[in-house]
Amino acid sequence: MSSFDLTIRNARAVTASDTFECDIAVKDGRIVQIGSRLPPCAREIDAAGRFVTPGGVDAHCHLDQPEPPPIKMADDFDTGTRSAACGGTTTVIPFALQQKGQSLRAAVEDYHRRADGKAHIDYTFHLIISDPTPAVLNDELPQLIKEGYTSFKIYMTYDSLKLDDGQILDLLSVAREHGAMAMIHAENADCIEWLTRRLEAAGRTAPRFHGHARPMLVEREATHRAMALSELVDTPILIVHVSGREAVEQIRWGRAHGLQVFAETCPQYLFLSAEDLGIDDGYLGARCICSPPPRDKANQEVIWRALADGLFTVFSSDHAPYRFEGTEGKRPGGEEPDFRHIPNGIPGIETRMALLWSEGVLGGRITREKFVELTATNPAKAYGLHPRKGTIAVGADADLVIWDERSFVLKNEQLHHAVDYTPYEGMNLGAWPGLTLCRGEVVWDGTSFTGRPGTGKFLHCGRPTLLPDRSR
């Protein structure tokens, strides 16, 4: 009998580069051997020729993020990570948000309190920097990067978060000097505000007009400007939640000109379109309000092609969990406000992996290896978690998903988040995780959630390995 804790037999293991038949042995939460006909083990799981991928790394999700009352996110670290685990994700990276006037350290400490003892899977934090004071730029941020908070998000829109170009340049300089990944929400705030006021003056305030206030050119302009700022400082950036053709074209242009620009997209830009925000002035479309907004079928195709051809680095959920009913979510205070006041964001932490496996891999649009690269390996590399996370290799954490390929119709009642809807209700899917292991422990057995709060560990991140090595 071997000294392994667990052996997974007959796996068709998929990594970002290969698919191969093997047994995978686990000890103390790590993969210790990969081979064929490994010795018997007291605990074995037969994968019986099913595909086994690394657990997903969801590098963009929002959990228990502070909000102005009465708004409150439905998912905290308990329900959010439970939902992630049941959908095959074993590491999440939500955001510690600095409020204006708050120290960055205080924001991080507050976010740790929100997570402590609750997470079922491993987690780390990106920072959101809304107030880059000299203290933040010179002391707090460099020190936090040293401590393993090696990525931060910059907003070019939203009144409470947006930074001007000079502030962005300051932050990119810190990223360059100290080795952090800068993520950018690229939308032109002034254009959005101008359009919003005109729509309001014309009485066009229903949810669907959210999309009219954020046409693709506002994303195109901001994407180009973000790349120019990154070029000026000579440091890479990662543009988050890219929605369609015009931003994709900018990123292609930037790459063709030698710029190091990484890009993320999300399920909503593959599966939702402007009609989901409403074809009339009804309120149901509030459920699909997110920014940038979903575009149209032609843009979905552009995003699919860019996933397949390597333009996109990571595929994240951008899970932003607001309930549709009640008073804390999409109907703040029980009202149906103008689109300007509807919380932005949609749920998707549990459906991210299965949607891409079903429609991407089984739909013949991307390879299995590309799936792994986008959902696990590259997010781990982009944010300093690789090779501990995001791959199947000796020494890596035993974060694994065994896939069941079976057809079913997706319903919100099957999901484990605390949100009262999924935008993907009624979709036919061809696969779902049959088993999720986080550091060798089963957290989802295909039918039931089996995790325990507090077993998820906080991860200190290293220097993102997608950044250039400046030590030579």
Query: Which residues make up the interface to ligand URP (CB under 6 A)?
Result: 62, 185, 241, 290-291, 318, 320, 344-345
The nearer residue to ligand URP, 348 or 434, going by C-beta atoms, is: 348
Output the six-digit token pair for 272. 């939702």
Binding span for Zn ion by CB under 5 A among 15-23, 167-175, 310-318, 398-406: 310-318
Output the six-digit token pair for 149. 């908070």
The nearer residue to ligand URP, 105 or 241, going by C-beta atoms, is: 241
The nearer residue to Zn ion, 94 or 390, going by C-beta atoms, is: 94
The nearer residue to ligand URP, 185 or 208, going by C-beta atoms, is: 185
Q: How far is the CB of 272 from ligand URP (least distance, A)?
A: 12
Q: Give residue 49's region: left, alpha or beta (phi > 0; psi -120 to 50).
A: left
The nearer residue to ligand URP, 96 or 396, going by C-beta atoms, is: 96
Query: 140-175: string of b/e by CB count within 10 Å (b at 16+)?
Result: bbbebbeeebbbbbbbbbeeebbbeeebbebbbebb
Q: How far is the CB of 221 from ligand URP (least distance, A)?
A: 17
Q: State the binding partner of 344 from ligand URP, Zn ion, none, CB within 5 to 8 A by kind.
A: ligand URP
Binding span for Zn ion by CB under 5 A among 2-10, 161-169, 318-326, 409-417: 318-326
Should residue 30 be labelled a site residue for Zn ion when binding is judged by CB under 5 A?
no
Q: How far is the CB of 4 from Zn ion (least distance, A)?
A: 39
Q: What mask of x and - would describe binding to Zn ion in positions 273 to 302, judged by CB under 5 A?
A: ------------------------------
Q: State the binding partner of 162 from ligand URP, Zn ion, none, CB within 5 to 8 A by kind.
A: none
- What are the φ/ψ torsions at residue 456 (nearest 5 degrees)? -70, 135
Measured over the CA atoms of residue 195, residue 200, residue 204 and residue 210, the dihedral's sign is positive
For residue 311, the one-letter residue type is L
The nearer residue to ligand URP, 7 or 344, going by C-beta atoms, is: 344
Output the six-digit token pair for 126. 């990106």
The nearer residue to ligand URP, 290 or 400, going by C-beta atoms, is: 290
For residue 358, the one-letter residue type is S
Cis geometry, peptide bond prior to residue 292 (ω within 30 degrees of 0) = yes
Q: State the binding partner of 290 from ligand URP, Zn ion, none, CB within 5 to 8 A by kind.
A: ligand URP
Q: State the binding partner of 58 from ligand URP, Zn ion, none, CB within 5 to 8 A by kind.
A: none
Should residue 185 be labelled a site residue for Zn ion when binding is judged by CB under 5 A?
yes
- Residue 266's nearest CA partner among 223, 216, 319, 210 is 319
Burial of residue 376 (CB within 10 Å: 0-12, 13-18, 19+) is buried
Half-sphere exposure of 317 toward its Cβ, with a 13 Å CA cutoff?
A: 33
Output the six-digit token pair for 298. 């032609």
Half-sphere exposure of 296 toward its Cβ, with a 13 Å CA cutoff?
A: 5
The nearer residue to Zn ion, 185 or 245, going by C-beta atoms, is: 185
Q: How far is the CB of 157 from ligand URP (least distance, A)?
A: 8
The CA distances from residue 380 to 58, 110, 463, in Å, are: 9, 24, 11
Nearest residue to Zn ion by CB is: 185
The nearer residue to ligand URP, 338 or 405, going by C-beta atoms, is: 338
Spatial distance between the Cα atoms of 218 and 231, rounded to a whole number of angstroms: 20
CB distance 248 to 303 below 8 Å: yes
Q: Of residues 64, 140, 170, 318, which one binds Zn ion by CB under 5 A? A: 318
Q: State the binding partner of 170 from ligand URP, Zn ion, none, CB within 5 to 8 A by kind.
A: none
Q: How far is the CB of 189 from ligand URP (least distance, A)?
A: 12
3-state secondary structure of 176: helix
Kindly write down the DSSP assignment for every residue of 345-409, as one continuous string: -B--TTTHHHHIIIIIITTTSS-HHHHHIIIIIHHHHHTT-TTTSSS-STTSB--EEEEE---EE
Q: State the binding partner of 126 from Zn ion, ligand URP, none, CB within 5 to 8 A by kind.
A: none
Q: How far is the CB of 92 from Zn ion (least distance, A)?
A: 12
Q: How far is the CB of 128 from ligand URP (least distance, A)?
A: 9
Should residue 352 be labelled a site residue for Zn ion when binding is judged by CB under 5 A?
no
Q: How far is the CB of 62 from Zn ion (least distance, A)?
A: 6
- The 8-class DSSP code of residue 138 comes to I
Judged by the rule CB under 5 A, the positions of this chain that interact with Zn ion are 185, 318
